[in-house]
Structure 1
Amino acid sequence: MNRLLVVVWSVLLALPVEAQMQAMDDEQLAGVNGQGIAFSLEGILLDASESSIFINDITNAEGENVPISVHEFYFAATGSNKGRNLQPVNLGRLSNPFKLQFGNGEDLQTLRDDGIWVQTTPNDVAILELTFPERLTGVMGQPCIAGFAAAGTNCSSRLGERLDAGIRFDFQVAAGRTDILNLDIVELIMDGSYLRLWGDEARDQLVGEARINLFAKRIDLMSCIPGTANCASEQEQADHSISLSNAYANVALGYGKSQPLLFDVTSDGQFVLELPNPVSRRANGSVRSAAEREAIATDFYTNAPRTNVVIGNLSSGNSSTVSGGYNYGRNSIEGLSINFLKATSRDL
Structure 2
Amino acid sequence: MKGLYSLLYGALIVFPVQAKMLEMNDQQLAGVNGQGIAFSLEGILLDASESSIFINDITNAAGENIPISVHEFYLASTGSNKGSNLQPVNLGRLSNPFKLQFGNGEDLLTLRDDGVWVQTTPDEVAILELKFPERLTGVMGQPCIAGFAAAGTNCSSRLGERLDAGIRFDFQVAAGRTDILNIDIVELIMDGSYLRLWGDEARDQLVGEARTNIFAKRIDLMSCIPGSLNCASDQEQADRTLSLSDTYFNIALGYGKSQPLLFDVTSDGQFVIELPNPVSRAANGSARSAAERNAIANDFYTNAPETNIVIGNLRSGNNGIVSGGYNYGRNSIEGMSINYLKATSRDL
2:304 corresponding residue in structure 1:
304
Kept in 1, the 8 Å contact 2:224–2:231? The answer is: yes
Kept in 1, the 8 Å contact 2:196–2:210? The answer is: yes
Deviation at 1:65, TM superposition (A): 3.3
Change (3 A) 1:320 1:134: closer
Q: Which moved more, 1:226-235 or 1:314-323?
A: 314-323
Kept in 2, the 8 Å contact 1:45–1:75? The answer is: yes
Following superposition of structure 1 onto structure 2, how do residues 278-293 of structure 1 map, counting pairs within 5 Å?
278-293=278-293
Kept in 2, the 8 Å contact 1:319–1:326? The answer is: no
The CA deviation string for residues 205-232 of structure 1, in whole angstroms up to 9 with x for no partner, is 1111000000000000001111112212
| Matched position secondary structure for 1:179 | strand
Change (3 A) 1:63 1:139: same
Following superposition of structure 1 onto structure 2, how do residues 99-114 of structure 1 map, counting pairs within 5 Å?
99-114=99-114
Kept in 1, the 8 Å contact 2:35–2:102? The answer is: yes
Whole-angstrom distance in 2 between the partners of 1:93 and 1:21: 12
1:96 corresponding residue in structure 2:
96
2:11 corresponding residue in structure 1:
none
Whole-angstrom distance in 2 between the partners of 1:323 and 1:160: 30
1:21 corresponding residue in structure 2:
20
Whole-angstrom distance in 2 between the partners of 1:251 and 1:240: 28
| Matched position secondary structure for 1:251 | strand
Whole-angstrom distance in 1 between the partners of 2:282 and 2:195: 23
Structure 1 position 195 matched with structure 2 position 181: no
Kept in 1, the 8 Å contact 2:234–2:321? The answer is: no
Following superposition of structure 1 onto structure 2, how do residues 241-280 of structure 1 map, counting pairs within 5 Å?
241-280=241-280
| Matched position secondary structure for 2:228 | coil
Structure 1 position 181 matched with structure 2 position 170: no
Kept in 2, the 8 Å contact 1:198–1:208? The answer is: yes
Letter in 1 for 2:215: F
Whole-angstrom distance in 2 between the partners of 1:344 and 1:262: 12
Change (3 A) 1:251 1:110: same
2:347 corresponding residue in structure 1:
347
Question: Cα RMSD (Å) of the superposition?
Answer: 2.2
Whole-angstrom distance in 2 between the partners of 1:30 and 1:323: 63
2:33 corresponding residue in structure 1:
33
2:116 corresponding residue in structure 1:
116
1:16 corresponding residue in structure 2:
none
Kept in 1, the 8 Å contact 2:108–2:121? The answer is: yes
Kept in 1, the 8 Å contact 2:235–2:322? The answer is: no
Whole-angstrom distance in 1 between the partners of 2:286 and 2:254: 21
1:43 corresponding residue in structure 2:
43
Whole-angstrom distance in 2 between the partners of 1:320 and 1:339: 39
Deviation at 1:266, TM superposition (A): 1.3
Kept in 2, the 8 Å contact 1:314–1:330? The answer is: yes
Give the paired residue count: 328
The CA deviation string for residues 120-141 of structure 1, in whole angstroms up to 9 with x for no partner, is 0111111111110000001110
Whole-angstrom distance in 2 between the partners of 1:312 and 1:226: 26
Deviation at 1:323, TM superposition (A): 9.9
Whole-angstrom distance in 2 between the partners of 1:217 and 1:320: 13
1:12 corresponding residue in structure 2:
none
- Higher Cα radius of gyration: 1
| Matched position secondary structure for 1:150 | helix
The CA deviation string for residues 75-104 of structure 1, in whole angstroms up to 9 with x for no partner, is 110000001111110000000000011111
Letter in 1 for 2:272: V
| Matched position secondary structure for 1:292 | helix
Q: Which moved more, 1:104-113 or 1:311-320?
A: 311-320
1:335 corresponding residue in structure 2:
335
Kept in 1, the 8 Å contact 2:238–2:319? The answer is: no
2:170 corresponding residue in structure 1:
170
Give me the identity figure in percent: 86
Deviation at 1:238, TM superposition (A): 1.1
Whole-angstrom distance in 2 between the partners of 1:323 and 1:176: 34
Q: Which moved more, 1:262-271 or 1:330-339?
A: 262-271
Letter in 2 for 1:37: I
